[in-house]
Amino acid sequence: MKNLLWLQGGACGGNTLSFLNAESPDILEFFEAYSVKLLWHPSLSLESGNKVKEILNEIVNGKIHLDVLVFEGTVVLGPNGTGKYNLFAGKPMKDWVREIANIADYVVAVGDCASFGGVPASTPNPSESVGLQFRNKEFGGFLGREYRSRKGLPVINVSGCPAHPEWIMTTLSMILKGKINEDSLDEYNRLKIIYSTTTQFGCPRNIYFSYKVGLKEFGHKEGCLYFNLGCKGSFTRSPCNLILWNNQSSKTRVGTPCFGCTEFDFPTFNFFKTEKNKAELPKQLPLGVSRGSYTMLSAIARSAAPNFLLRPLVKKEEKVDWID
Amino acid sequence: MTNITISPFNRVEGDLDVEVKYEKNKVVDVKFISRLFRGLEIILRNKDPWDALVITPRVCGICGGSHLYSSASALDMIYNAEVPKNAVKIRNVLAMAETCQNDIRHTYLMFLIDSTNRLYEKYEFYPEILKRWTPLVGSSYKEAIRWSKKYTEIYAIFGGQWPHGSAIIPGGVTTDPYPNEINKALGILKNITSNYLEKVILGGDLDQFLNTVKSVKDLDQWSEDFPESDLGKIWRFGNELGWHKLGFGSGIMLSYGHFPKDEYVKEVDREKDLIFRAGIYIVNKGELVRFDQKNIMEFINKSYYKYTKGDTIGLHPFEGETNPNMSGDKGKYTLTKCFRYNLNGELITPEVGALAMLTVGQNPLILDIVNKLGPSVLARVIARIVRVSIYHKLIEDELEAFEFGKPTYKKPNEEKEGKGYGLVEAPRGALGHWISVKDGKIYNYQMVTPTEINMGPEDPSNNKSHVAKALIGTEVVDVSNPVEVYHIIRSHDACMVCNVH
Ligand code: SF4
Ligand code: SF4
């Protein structure tokens, strides 16, 4: 039996709900297959009140061995470093986190909030929130740079707002099988196998991206959302178009721009508009592309764009002013 | 007098502390203490108004789509947006799919598992309860885990993902579905209807349930005809366990109404143009009165906030302020504000949620239950099941009414100044966002959530909110295991994370 404890700090609960959407295995099959005992979970457990404090104290004083601590939400430090904006079972949640992180074999930050600070930590950060081991890009966070869990690993991040159930499951199952080491993790301590591609991998609009054909207004299947409508898919590392959401879709598939919710700097705001420079080119370029080569490539690509991409695919419309 | 604090009180979408005072076995006072603050209203200040469509869903992991809908509707109003019929249909489907997901998860994962409490051991049907509703292993619990996520597939087909899609925007939706997507959603819905809703919950045919069960008597009959259904068991066991006499509360039902029937410009008439109308229902008078958002106000005399004009006044959300302050003001104890509605000079403390929505919406079965037995723990659980059943039909209607080839979006003119509000029926009840925009940026953003309405703190005349009223006077069998308190609070599908945002 492996013991797992799940706690929520400055959270919306979205990662819990996302986890509940897991399909194969679903959460019950997962617990069974990996012999996981869920010690306590805020939304799933029967126990309330003193019983919960008992469980937590037994974990802290070593009576119950904790294999995995999963934390969802930010560590709330406000106001003025007191942590009183997030009291839990009689004391600031931050104190529980510190005590429990010290004795857990592994610590997993689920979601962007726990990983990097996410929405609550965005300007002006009213709750003085931080991630478990990052504050945005900066390594350290609440537990500090040097923190290592009992098994010698930093906090393992599953970023995303929320994280996809398959990303959570994959990370947890690799941990439970003892198959995770520093080499499996990227520079943000996330599983490389999940976070190495960009949202653009598998996006059906990618052909429009290649030929620089942009969409000017929402509500259409055609066109790429990068040029005018704020899509961050070309510089956001996520497998959202490879491992589909709810077995069905993704933001860019339904014409919503990618907001970059797996990244350390989420939320960057101005989500539905592309910021451009004087030459009318997007300020933020695709991952790893230089401005010079981008400018050159754009001009050639646009002039090579096949005709059928410049008009609606199936709709009959007299006036088409929504394709760039 | 005994004073017991339940900390943490979980399964309320987050945790809160509940302080209960007993005289012998009777609840004589109660305080709901929410101690979480993220300050999303503060974060939204000075941001692009559209950014609210990304930030506000993050208020809540289980009803983010409702926040999105509120936010987009408020912006529709500010931008004088024309919302095409197709967009209305897709928005409605998104909201209903999310709510069905919620109602199933709430019923089984949050509420019903308390029925396995050892207090009920003495009942002969206790083994049946354990068999069905025990967390993680009960047969119906497992079915709920298996099927509740199917609704999120319907959501994702049009909303991209659930939780936290942002496909609803001022002027419509971002998506432009083809008929195959409409068909797929219909297929998933049909699958849930026949293999889950009819099999496990209702026990019988959905149409037959909707067409024939219109009164308490009909529901008794249905439970006899389909005794193996969860609905039948909940109704029968609930009556035997006394859930129909538990947690009456304020006796005032408030609903903002939901789901425009057709295309509209800017906003709709909330009494005429919605599938479920808005209104306030006074239970003991059987009277339905008009609702006007102008009469809403929020107090902070017991909450850790400061108002510039003093802490005893009430502010309409357009004038609302969010200035947290935890420094030693006596008597303040929570980070939730206090909602009141001014009904002809009287500050009322309504109940919101599925029960209120269907009562105000004139659903015959729910109205009959409320009029005959009063609003109770049992009535609230039943209302959620009835709502899911109705939504199954409505999702189908809305999808069938979608006209491929017609627009799903009409680009609005982004006004730089203006005020707007967006009102919806979130899974937990009446939810509103009030936005002021100046110089093209958010100047003030205020959200008033259902859990705040149901269980906020006292107002300056020390009047309690609805759930506190529902608890006070309740006799519990065992003070150290107050399952009656659990039932009353959880029957309201409380949500801490919305509550405090
Ligand atoms: S920029 Fe966005 S819409 Fe365009 S191809 Fe990439 S992910 Fe898809
Ligand atoms: S598409 Fe972008 S914003 Fe959406 S979930 Fe994926 S990474 Fe996050």
pLDDT in tens, B477-498: 999 999 999 999 999 988 878 8
Enumerate residues 6+ apart whose C-beta is below 8 A from B149: A20, A21, A22, A23, A26, A246, B101
Rounded to whole angstroms, the Cα distance separating B346 from B363 reads: 27
pLDDT in tens, B31-41: 999 989 999 99
**Encoded tokens for A45:** 């457990």
| Confidence grade of residue A64 (pLDDT, cut at 50, 70, 90) | very high
- Nearest ligand to the C-alpha atom of residue A235: 1
CB A70 within 8 A of CB A108: yes
Rounded to whole angstroms, the Cα distance separating A220 from A224 reads: 10
| Confidence grade of residue B14 (pLDDT, cut at 50, 70, 90) | confident
Decide if pLDDT at B475 tops 80: yes
Q: What is the mean pLDDT of residues B387-409?
A: 97
Pocket test for ligand 1, best of A207, A231, A245 (most atoms within 8 A of CB): A231
CB A302 within 8 A of CB A308: no
| Residues A89, B161: C-beta atoms closer than 8 Å | no
Residue nearest atom 2 of ligand 1, based on CA coordinates: A233
| Residues A259, B54: C-beta atoms closer than 8 Å | yes
CB B322 within 8 A of CB B42: yes
Give the total residue count for chain A.
324
Q: What is the mean pLDDT of residues A48-68?
A: 95
Mean pLDDT in chain B?
Answer: 96
Decide if pLDDT at B15 tops 80: no
Q: What is the mean pLDDT of residues B192-217?
A: 98
**Amino acid at residue number B457:** P
Q: What is the pLDDT of residue B31?
A: 95
Q: What is the pLDDT of residue B494?
A: 83
Strands, sheet with B26-33, edge to edge from the N-terminal-most edge strand: B2-9, B16-23, B26-33
Q: What is the pLDDT of residue A221?
A: 96
Q: How far is the CA of B371 from the centre of ligand 2 (A)?
A: 47
Top-confidence residue, B330 or B474? B474
pLDDT in tens, B421-457: 999 999 999 999 999 999 999 999 999 999 999 999 9
Decide if pLDDT at B275 tops 80: yes
Decide if pLDDT at B13 tops 90: no
Rounded to whole angstroms, the Cα distance separating B85 from B102 reads: 26
**Amino acid at residue number B233:** K
Q: Which chain B residue shows the shortest CA-CA distance from A272?
A: B50
Top-confidence residue, A104 or B12? A104
| Share above pLDDT 70 across residues of chain A, in percent, rounded to a whole number | 100
B500 closest CA partner among B464, B458, B461, B451: B451
Q: What is the pLDDT of residue B63?
A: 93
Decide if pLDDT at A289 tops 80: yes
Rounded to whole angstroms, the Cα distance separating A109 from A142 reads: 12
pLDDT in tens, B170-202: 999 999 999 999 999 999 999 999 999 999 999
Residue B67's SS3 state is helix
Decide if pLDDT at A318 tops 80: no
Q: What is the mean pLDDT of residues A4-19?
A: 96
Give the CA distances from residue B149 to residues A242, B97, B102, B105, B316, in Å, rounded to whole numbers and listed in that order. 20, 10, 10, 9, 37
Which run of H or E residues covers position A30? helix A27-33
Q: What is the pLDDT of residue A303?
A: 95
Rounded to whole angstroms, the Cα distance separating A238 from A264 reads: 12
| Residues B61, A85: C-beta atoms closer than 8 Å | no
List pocket residues of ligand 1, CB cut-off 6 Å.
A 199-200, 203, 205-206, 209, 224-226, 231, 233-234, 252, 258
Q: What is the mean pLDDT of residues B456-467?
A: 97
Strand stretches in chain A, DSSP E: 2-8, 36-40, 68-72, 75-76, 87-88, 91-92, 106-110, 129-130, 134-135, 138-139, 156-158
Confirm or reject contact between A239 and chain B (CB < 8 A).
no
Rounded to whole angstroms, the Cα distance separating B317 from A232 reads: 34
| Confidence grade of residue B1 (pLDDT, cut at 50, 70, 90) | confident
Q: What is the pLDDT of residue B324?
A: 96
Q: What is the pLDDT of residue B499?
A: 82
pLDDT in tens, A197-235: 999 999 999 999 999 999 999 999 999 999 999 999 999
Strands, sheet with A2-8, edge to edge from the N-terminal-most edge strand: A36-40, A2-8, A68-72, A106-110, A156-158
pLDDT in tens, B307-359: 999 999 999 999 999 999 988 778 999 999 999 999 999 999 999 999 999 99
The question of ipTM being above 0.95 is answered as: yes
Rounded to whole angstroms, the Cα distance separating B172 from B92 reads: 11
Please indicate, yes or no, whether the overall pTM of this predicted structure exceeds 0.95. yes
Q: Tell me the nearest-neighbour CA distance from B146 into chain A, angstroms.
A: 8
Q: What is the pLDDT of residue B256?
A: 98
Residue B179's SS3 state is helix
| Residues A161, B164: C-beta atoms closer than 8 Å | yes
